Structure 1
């Protein structure tokens, strides 16, 4: 396409340039003929026409070297035989002429100007100058083949760069384009060899400056794509993890309804199962909401959430499992209300997973405590247990997905603290794993920064 465009632009320009140059060259040659005639006219005035031979003596003929002799002398080039002149008086008597124009017929009525003649096998361009004051006429002539030689030279001078240069330019452009597109081929190979799920950035050595924005945009797009795929994978795992508790609670109530023949007990178990299923539906809605939050669909749509109310709902939901586990659970609230700007679904998932995680690491007869309080310009959530705890050197790794401590008594998937961490990130909260105040067990502290906190302190409960 580039070569075609070059031909489409340069060829018309070349032809136009040749045409203009040829016109100007012919005008220059015509001007030379006219100037030569006027110069000869001045010389004739100075010497006088009478200084030439009398008409009855015949014209004075200026010899011109023969063409063959001139070609031999000038190594193939002819100049002298291609130009000539003729001088005659008003009576039609030739007084002075070059040999090559001696037989050129005289015009019946001489007029100043240019004419074209066919004479002696050649075409001639003739300029006639009539000097009425001195009574003679001067004709200067130039052969057409001389002008054609100049035209051919112009063809070569102007045409050869196009005829030779354009094909050569086409080859060089093709080479340059192929060389310029090599980084794209390397980019294609890098993309083709990229392993699925890889987060390694694409880097090309000596990539041209024009390709750098493309590589940066492609790396950013691949990063976003991997983030989206990771969210999908985490969401699938979170669904399995989060739905396990309400399903287990419902199954307990259904088993209770099936194992008793007393109608009141059966109705109570079925009612509890119905409540569990309702909570299961609610949990699914919360998971979907959490997935949308993680994808950024609800960015900037935080609402006012009361942590005390959220905590009570989570405790009520976990009550059947708390009763079955044999773990002593206590909720300590230092505020009647503790409101923050955030996402209810994410905060509920944070509390629920902190409590469940503690339950799984506390043996029967142990204790789990949920504490909500307001600190200086912050809201604090703490879950404290008296289980075996987690050594300080392993605390950083427990937030990894699918990581499970050996002391865990449940059959979970190792996603609880990962969900807690993600929910905390949505609220710019900080998480710390500390030793329990009693010296045995673990204390998980989540601190929501001040710019999310809303409400005022009330008396402790």
Structure 2
């Protein structure tokens, strides 16, 4: 049963929120521990400052009953909290800490105790006031706002590295999670990239997220229409070529008969026979391509092909044509360094080599040499057909496998499909088709290289 479609958006959201929640809790715990440590130090400093104040309050009373002033603490003491106090009587400071202002922090405070925010000499202060009504004086303890900011800065300096670390960790975790969640997108893209004109099967929708289903469905529709168009084109080409073979064979026979009946027109009928022969060869090539185009590699009858019988068969098949054209055809296997067999479809490889040898004989002038050779490179086999004929320029060499392409200036007739057939057979086998110079740096060399096979 196909699995139910799932939401890419929901899964991505759940993954990010889950990771964020877990990492937030971990960061919260870390921040709480650091803040507890820092605020503990602050409270310890406050207790130390209070101890100084209690120590000052433990002095002897003067003649008026006020506390006697104590000497300020040593200057090398670090006073992080920096609390300053004043003893105020009747609006006048009668005793204060060393850094406290000479006038009261707060004048005319209306309550028995409380906080006040004020600015003195350009500095902001936070002051707590408590009144001793029985003794007729009040205590005012103040702290500069800048000192509180200093503590916050110290806390921030202690926290920024852990916070940054958790943010980086969150980014890495989210990157990994989104990569896992979006993996179906990459698989779908890979499936689409693997589509070829030979295999236009629809992309599987099983297990795809709901957000991708419309896209995959639309692409499958396009692939189906493209496959139908290609199949229709191939059927038309095959049917048309097949239907032409019979009348062409009959036409060839009639022209041959007319040539015998009218010797005076033998030359004209001979050229007509050549034209009919080229047309028949074109039809055969079209039939071959129509049969090769829809094939896939898995459909080939692949096996071990012995090269010695194949080379001998090719040499015997083209011996008369080579002799008629005055060309030396050498298809003998070397005694050493030649693979005994290659892997592939025997019929298809035979068609490819026949096209290569036929092209070499057709376009080489008399006195040329054509060699059919085989060998190994990096443990992989190769077969080449090389000649020392006129060769092909670089611009034309790049287009040799195009259908119906023929090199300009060639007097010999041809359909321009022979090398297209060779290329298609090489593609089906995964063989690299290479073009280069021929014998002695002249002519053309064509190599089927099994090293390019997967």
State the structure with more CA Rg.
Answer: 1
TM-score in same-fold range (> 0.5): no
TM-score by length of 2: 0.40
TM-score (ref. length: structure 1): 0.40
